[in-house]
Amino acid sequence: MLTFTQVWNALGPEIVLAIGGFVAMVYEFMVTGRAKQATPWIAVLSVLTAIPLAWSKLHAPLATYSIAVIAVDDFGTIFSLFILVSVLLVLLFAIASQARLKLAFEYAYLVLFATVGAMVICSALDLVTLYVGLELLSITTYVLVALHRKNVKSSEAGLKYLIIGSIASAIILYGLSFLYGVAGSTGLSRIATALQGGYGSEPGLVYLSIALILVGIFVKISAAPFHLWTADVYEGAPTPITAYLAVVSKGAVLGFLFRVIVWLFGAKLGEWFGLVGWIAIITMVIGNLGALSQRNIKRLLAYSSIGQAGYLLIPFSSLSSSTLASVMWQNLSSTVFYLFAYSFMTIGAFAVFSVVADASGSEDVHAFTGLSKRSPWLAGMMTLFLLSLSGLPLTAGFFGKFSIFLGALGAGQIWLGVVLFATSAIAFYYYFGIIRAMYGRTQEGDTPPVRSSPMQHVVVALCAIGTLWLGIFPGPVTDLLSNLHWFG
- Round to whole Å and give the CA distance between 301 and 1: 48
Question: Near another protein by CB under 8 A, which window of 78-86, 173-181, 219-227, 449-457?
Answer: 173-181
Q: Which of 49, 98, 155, 447 binds another protein (CB under 8 A)?
A: 155
Q: Which of 50, 176, 241, 367 binds another protein (CB under 8 A)?
A: 176
Nearest to 308 by CA among 273, 344, 275: 344
Contact between 203 and another protein per CB under 8 A: no
Interactions with another protein, residue window 255-294 (CB under 8 A): 293-294
Q: Closer to another protein at the Cβ: 50 or 188?
A: 188
Contact between 228 and another protein per CB under 8 A: no
Q: Which of 15, 45, 173, 285 binds another protein (CB under 8 A)?
A: 173
Interactions with another protein, residue window 399-458 (CB under 8 A): 399, 403, 405-406, 409-410, 414, 417-418, 421-422, 424-425, 428-429, 432, 436, 439-440
Phi and psi at 152, nearest 5°, equal -60, -45
- Round to whole Å and give the CA distance between 485 and 189: 18
Question: Near another protein by CB under 8 A, which window of 239-247, 325-333, 350-358, 460-468?
Answer: 325-333
Q: Name the 3-class secondary structure at 473.
A: coil
Q: Which of 82, 131, 244, 338 binds another protein (CB under 8 A)?
A: 131
Q: Which of 49, 177, 189, 453 binds another protein (CB under 8 A)?
A: 177
Q: Judge whether 308 and 342 are in contact, CB under 8 Å.
A: yes
Question: Near another protein by CB under 8 A, which window of 44-52, 54-62, 322-330, 358-366?
Answer: 322-330
Site string for another protein, 235-254 (x = CB under 8 A): xx------------------
Interactions with another protein, residue window 293-312 (CB under 8 A): 293-294, 296, 299
Cα-atom radius of gyration of the chain, to the nearest Å? 22
- Round to whole Å and give the CA distance between 483 and 325: 14
Contact between 149 and another protein per CB under 8 A: yes
Least Cβ distance, residue 185 to another protein (angstroms): 6
Q: Which of 163, 203, 274, 292 binds another protein (CB under 8 A)?
A: 163
Q: Closer to another protein at the Cβ: 38 or 205?
A: 205
- Round to whole Å and give the CA distance between 76 and 67: 14
Interactions with another protein, residue window 56-115 (CB under 8 A): none
Amino acid in position 420? L
Q: Closer to another protein at the Cβ: 62 or 170?
A: 170
The secondary structure of residue 353, as a DSSP letter, is H
Q: Which of 42, 60, 162, 357 binds another protein (CB under 8 A)?
A: 162
Q: Judge whether 462 and 86 are in contact, CB under 8 Å.
A: no
- Round to whole Å and give the CA distance between 39 and 26: 10
Size of the site for another protein (CB under 8 A): 81
Nearest to 333 by CA among 474, 189, 124: 474
- Round to whole Å and give the CA distance between 486 and 360: 47
Q: How far apart are the first and last CA of the chain?
A: 24
Q: Closer to another protein at the Cβ: 141 or 346?
A: 141
Least Cβ distance, residue 188 to another protein (angstroms): 12
Q: Name the 3-class secondary structure at 187.
A: strand
Q: Is the peptide bond before 225 cis (omega within 30 degrees of 0)?
A: yes
70 beta partners: 67, 124
